[in-house]
């Protein structure tokens, strides 16, 4: 054991047990006391996991000596656990099952292949709002969800039963982030005689929501998550930490949603992309954990990695309310106080910079119509919408359509609301705004108001606890009366699962080319995300969602214009039905009970009858259905040898794609729908799947045959060696232009290795695993670019692909390359070291030779091991085979 790690091991006696922990004060108490809490947690992580190979003394020193100025040094992170949702979790389970299958083919015991750390997968991304506005909506939506997703759910149920260290929360139980906040998060973990902070990574961008309960966590791509799942560290650049200083308290006429939408604007304007945000100040004392989590949830909308709230008395209060055990609460308090991780409010911490925000300044706020950071004051929304309709949609005269349906006649016009959704973990985890929405609904019903008939209303709670306290208070009946029936426990409208508009509404929107709106209590409102027919989307509190459903329009000032009239013809205003803070607090006190959390989470893994009735073969080896077009065994491990193959240089490679700057993972990775004439569409038709049943690339992420055909298939990608836009390439020397996939297959027949030429910021955007997996399966051995986005570069290495960088000032164009050359890259086969300079020779068909150097962005010893093994998964499997 190395000296730093050994000298810092401390003992803590708790509840009659002795625990070890890595003591931060033993490093340098004065230095640590100046560090942001989030950096302290990263420091504890590298100290405890120091192995002198993947985690070194330099990593400890970098964090102990953290400075406010940015430092271009990578640090490792080994999370305590992993959180997944079903869309991103399915490929990871496919890989795990495939890894186990290869282990069995080597004559080994497949049951020994399991995640190295706990993994929790919550199925929450598949329920769609097909049915709404009735008491039967929930049951019908869940039934349809199982019908659509049976094959995927069978795989996940096998993982739930067949893998150790792997739990699955079945459909219909809650949203992954709210389940994490209310149940999975422990604050501090006791494992194998050690105490350490609860940390995680998740395969969903809103994983930072759990920062609100003092847990460091952020979203990653699937390959990074799989690496962590198999015990490997995740590397990222040592972060700047922006201090967000909160003062004051939320005014009575405002909500936590108004707060977070205002903070989103402030932090986006500040520029916190890729940085940590840590919250401090007197304003913290007035915020509940659910208020804090509302802020943390929106971290991706600010652009930061985490928005961290240190553990304090409020954290312990929430843990008590949510039925964490007294022993766990005592453990959290004692460990954090002993190890410099407890917030007193008197700290003197150095931050990279500080942003101040006065909660007293809040006013009712929404965001839209296209981005979460587009803040609009409620009093100004009518004018904003009118200006939008005039300037962007050129509506000097509003378009309208007359509708006659169910004995009702009304006019649907530009600016009308067709979707009003209380949805998403952002708000449904917060009892203050959910109870507030119920109280506002009650007062509206008492005044004789109702939702407008053209509005599709829905309520998708983040956990069943919400249903418990709404039912106990009777507020569920008031929400039902306005059409806000429970449609399912999932993300629904926030991720685009809002379901079809009623046919008569959809037809009117199309016929009149209407610019209609949605209002939702979610976290994202990008163009066409909520619904393809809805052009304006506004984020807001659940209370305002209900209020806007009553009036049915966004082109008005909700604070001054009436919502409607009572049966006597008197106007009813928002102020008339807005519940007071005291009413909300009292109702929470009367109706939110600790036993609710116990009842819900005692059976969280049981699932519905539909889930329990899924029949799954629980043998060590997952029983692959050869006819499935959703789930296929991953090909990454086929016929894997125990010893690594000798690294060879890349000889006579061809260019599959010659790309420009800022090629994102949206360009590379399969996403969205696809047409029959695409490579993926042709494949599915060959398997007997009709175009109407294609579904999306996302739903078929467990089938590599579909996904590799969709890699580089984006209709907007520009490949300089093809003569048309889209996912096309040119085969040399035949000169045939075909899809990228078919061109790659042609090269594969004669064993030709492939490369990609690219410009600056290659792979920017969301960290999508299939952007790297698909690249690997197409036979691409190296990417030569001017620069790489951090996560995608890491993912390429994780798939055994070499990311190579031109020398400063050079690029493919300046070197005179046109993509028709053959490329030989030497220097990989012998004495490969981090950042090694390699020699490249490009030979043009004319005979002209161009020679230049590139830097291998294999940045550490462990990355070289991944590259030697053709990827992280192969590296780990070989370790298993050698240790067996």
Rounded distance, CA 222 to CA 226, Å?
6
Yes or no: say if 227 and 798 are a contact pair by the CB < 8 Å rule. Answer: yes
Asked, as a colleague might, if the bond just before 369 is cis with ω within 30 of 0, I would say yes
Yes or no: say if 548 and 516 are a contact pair by the CB < 8 Å rule. Answer: no
Asked, as a colleague might, if the bond just before 733 is cis with ω within 30 of 0, I would say yes
The counts of H helices and E strands in the chain are 32, 34
- 436 Cβ partners below 8 Å, 6+ apart? 255, 541, 542, 543, 579, 584
- 675 Cβ partners below 8 Å, 6+ apart? 681, 691
**SS3 call for 197:** strand
Strands (E) located in 389-444: 400-405, 408-413, 417-422
Yes or no: say if 454 and 410 are a contact pair by the CB < 8 Å rule. Answer: yes
**SS3 call for 611:** helix
In the block, tokens 């993982």 appear at: 159
Nearest to 699 by CA among 675, 671, 721: 671
The CB density around residue 820, as the number of other CB atoms within 10 Å, is 18
| H or E segment and range at residue 159 | helix 137-162
- pLDDT for 125: 85
**SS3 call for 762:** strand
Rounded distance, CA 75 to CA 54, Å?
10
Q: Which domains does the chain show, CATH number per domain?
A: 3-73 (no CATH), 78-236+608-633 (3.30.499.10), 365-592 (3.30.499.10), 650-669+711-868 (3.20.19.10)
- pLDDT for 2: 56
pLDDT one-digit tens code per residue, 713-767: 988 899 999 989 999 999 998 999 999 999 999 999 999 999 999 999 898 866 5
What Å distances lie between residue 30 and 5, 24, 534, CA to CA? 18, 10, 55
Block means of pLDDT (10 residues each) for the chain, length 884 residues? 77 94 95 98 97 91 94 91 91 91 91 94 90 94 88 92 93 94 97 97 92 96 87 90 97 94 93 93 95 94 93 97 97 98 96 97 94 93 95 90 93 96 90 97 98 96 95 97 95 84 95 95 82 92 97 97 96 97 96 95 92 86 90 90 92 97 87 87 96 84 95 92 93 95 97 97 80 96 93 90 97 97 97 95 97 94 91 91 85
Helices 86-105 and 872-883 meet at what angle, rounded to 10? 40
What Å distances lie between residue 23 and 6, 12, 336, CA to CA? 10, 10, 11
Rounded distance, CA 695 to CA 708, Å?
16
Strands (E) located in 650-785: 650-658, 728-731, 736-739, 754-757, 780-785
Nearest to 277 by CA among 305, 254, 249, 301: 305
Rounded distance, CA 697 to CA 707, Å?
7
- pLDDT for 748: 97
- pLDDT for 236: 85
Yes or no: say if 309 and 283 are a contact pair by the CB < 8 Å rule. Answer: no
* Partners of 273 in beta bridges: none
Distance of CA 549 to the CA centre of its chain: 29
pTM: 0.88
* Partners of 852 in beta bridges: 840
**SS3 call for 225:** helix
Nearest to 341 by CA among 17, 7, 10, 43: 43
- pLDDT for 693: 86
- pLDDT for 673: 76
Yes or no: say if 767 and 220 are a contact pair by the CB < 8 Å rule. Answer: yes
Yes or no: say if 745 and 678 are a contact pair by the CB < 8 Å rule. Answer: no
The C-alpha R_g of the chain, in whole angstroms, comes to: 28
- pLDDT for 768: 77
- pLDDT for 355: 97
What Å distances lie between residue 823 and 6, 321, 646, 836, 849, CA to CA? 50, 63, 20, 18, 10
- pLDDT for 767: 58
In degrees and rounded to multiples of 5, residue 874 shows phi and psi of -65, -40
In degrees and rounded to multiples of 5, residue 262 shows phi and psi of -70, -40
- What are the DSSP calls for 788-829, one per residue? B-HHHHHHHHHTT-EEEEEPTT--TTTTT--S-SEEEEESSS
Yes or no: say if 301 and 269 are a contact pair by the CB < 8 Å rule. Answer: no
Cα 658-660-666 angle, rounded to 5 deg: 95
Between the two ends of the chain, the Cα-to-Cα distance in Å is 24
Nearest to 81 by CA among 176, 222, 217, 239: 217
Yes or no: say if 11 and 19 are a contact pair by the CB < 8 Å rule. Answer: yes
- 309 Cβ partners below 8 Å, 6+ apart? 211, 212, 213, 214, 279, 284, 289, 292, 295, 296, 315
- pLDDT for 766: 65
Nearest to 782 by CA among 692, 723, 856: 856
The CB density around residue 568, as the number of other CB atoms within 10 Å, is 6
Yes or no: say if 453 and 447 are a contact pair by the CB < 8 Å rule. Answer: no
- What are the DSSP calls for 701-717, one per residue? TT-HHHHHHHTT--TT-
Rounded distance, CA 695 to CA 681, Å?
11
Nearest to 867 by CA among 808, 793, 766: 793
- pLDDT for 237: 84
The secondary structure of residue 593, as a DSSP letter, is: -
Yes or no: say if 762 and 785 are a contact pair by the CB < 8 Å rule. Answer: yes
Maximal C-alpha separation, the chain: 90
């Amino acid at each position: 054991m190395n000296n730093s790690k050994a000298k810092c091991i401390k003992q803590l006696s708790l509840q009659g047990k002795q625990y070890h922990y890595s003591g931060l004060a033993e490093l340098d108490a004065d230095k640590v006391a100046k560090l942001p809490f989030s950096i302290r947690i990263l420091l504890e992580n590298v100290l405890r996991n120091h192995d002198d190979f993947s985690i070194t003394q330099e990593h400890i020193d970098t964090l102990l000596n953290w400075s406010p100025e940015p430092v271009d040094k990578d640090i490792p992170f080994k999370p305590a656990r992993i959180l997944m949702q079903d869309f991103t979790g399915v490929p990871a389970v496919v890989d795990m099952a495939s890894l186990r299958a290869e282990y069995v083919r080597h004559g080994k015991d497949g049951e020994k292949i399991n995640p190295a750390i706990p993994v929790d997968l919550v199925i929450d991304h598949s329920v769609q709002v097909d049915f709404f506005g009735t008491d039967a909506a929930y049951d019908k939506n869940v039934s349809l969800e199982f019908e659509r997703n049976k094959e995927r759910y069978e795989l996940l149920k096998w993982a739930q039963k067949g893998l150790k260290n792997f739990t699955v929360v079945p459909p219909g139980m809650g949203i992954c982030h709210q389940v994490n906040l209310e149940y999975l998060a422990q604050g501090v973990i006791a494992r194998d005689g050690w105490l350490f902070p609860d940390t995680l990574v998740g395969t969903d961008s809103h994983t930072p929501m759990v920062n609100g309960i003092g847990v460091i966590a952020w979203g990653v791509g699937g390959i990074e998550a799989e690496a962590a799942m198999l015990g490997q560290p995740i590397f990222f650049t040592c972060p700047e930490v922006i201090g967000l200083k909160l003062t004051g308290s939320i005014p009575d006429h405002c909500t936590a949603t108004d707060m977070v939408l205002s903070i989103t604007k402030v932090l986006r304007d500040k520029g916190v992309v890729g940085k940590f945000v840590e919250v401090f100040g007197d304003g913290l004392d007035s915020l509940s954990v659910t208020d804090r989590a509302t802020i943390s949830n929106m971290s991706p909308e600010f652009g930061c990695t985490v928005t961290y709230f240190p553990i304090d008395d409020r954290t312990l209060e929430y843990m008590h309310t949510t039925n964490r055990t007294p022993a766990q609460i005592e453990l959290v308090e004692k460990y954090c106080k002993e190890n410099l991780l407890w917030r007193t409010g008197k700290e003197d911490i150095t931050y990279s910079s500080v942003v101040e925000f006065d909660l007293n300044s809040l006013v009712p706020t929404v965001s839209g119509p296209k981005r979460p950071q587009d803040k609009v004051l409620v009093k100004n929304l009518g004018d904003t919408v009118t200006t939008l309709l005039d300037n962007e949609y050129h509506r000097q005269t509003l378009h309208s359509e007359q509708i006659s349906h169910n004995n009702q006649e009304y006019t649907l016009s530009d600016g009308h609301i067709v979707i009003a959704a209380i949805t998403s973990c952002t708000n449904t985890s917060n009892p203050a705004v959910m109870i507030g929405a119920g109280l506002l609904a009650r007062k509206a019903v008492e005044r004789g108001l109702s939702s407008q008939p053209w509005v599709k209303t829905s309520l998708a709670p983040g956990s069943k606890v919400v249903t418990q306290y709404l039912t106990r208070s009777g507020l569920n009946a008031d929400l039902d009366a306005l059409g806000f029936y429970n449609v399912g426990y999932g993300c629904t409208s926030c991720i685009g699962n809002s379901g079809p508009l009623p046919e008569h509404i959809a037809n009117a929107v199309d016929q009149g080319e209407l610019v209609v709106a949605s209002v939702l209590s979610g976290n994202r409102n990008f163009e066409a995300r909520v619904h393809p027919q809805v052009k304006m989307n506004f984020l807001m509190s659940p209370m305002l969602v209900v209020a806007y459903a009553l009036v049915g329009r966004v082109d008005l000032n909700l604070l001054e214009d009436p919502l409607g009239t009572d049966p006597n013809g008197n106007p009813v205003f928002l102020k008339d039905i807005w519940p007071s803070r005291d009413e909300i607090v009292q109702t929470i006190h009367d109706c939110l009970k600790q036993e609710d959390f116990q009842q819900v989470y005692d059976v969280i893994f049981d699932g519905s009858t539909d889930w329990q009735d899924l029949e799954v073969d629980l043998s060590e080896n997952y029983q692959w259905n050869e006819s499935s077009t959703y789930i296929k065994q991953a090909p990454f491990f086929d016929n894997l040898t125990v010893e690594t193959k000798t690294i060879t240089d890349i000889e006579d490679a061809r260019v599959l794609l010659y790309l420009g700057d800022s090629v994102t993972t949206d360009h590379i990775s399969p996403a969205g729908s696809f047409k029959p004439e695409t490579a993926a569409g042709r494949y599915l038709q060959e398997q007997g799947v009709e175009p109407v049943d294609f579904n999306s690339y996302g739903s078929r992420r467990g089938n590599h045959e579909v996904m590799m055909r969709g890699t580089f298939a984006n209709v907007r990608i520009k490949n300089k060696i093809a003569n048309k836009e889209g996912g096309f390439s040119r085969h040399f020397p035949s000169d045939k232009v075909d899809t990228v996939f078919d061109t790659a297959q042609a090269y594969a027949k004669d064993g030709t290795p492939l490369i990609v030429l690219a410009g600056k910021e290659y792979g920017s955007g969301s960290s999508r695993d299939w952007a790297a997996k698909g690249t690997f399966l197409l036979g691409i051995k190296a990417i030569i670019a001017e620069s790489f986005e951090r996560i995608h570069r890491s993912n390429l290495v994780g798939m055994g692909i070499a990311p190579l960088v031109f020398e400063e000032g050079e690029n493919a164009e300046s070197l005179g390359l046109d993509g028709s050359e053959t490329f030989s890259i030497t220097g990989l086969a012998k004495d490969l070291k981090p950042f090694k300079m390699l020699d490249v020779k490009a030979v043009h068909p004319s005979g002209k030779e161009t020679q230049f150097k590139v830097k291998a962005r294999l940045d550490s010893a462990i990355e070289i091991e991944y590259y030697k093994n053709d990827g992280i998964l192969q590296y780990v499997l070989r370790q298993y085979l050698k240790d067996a």
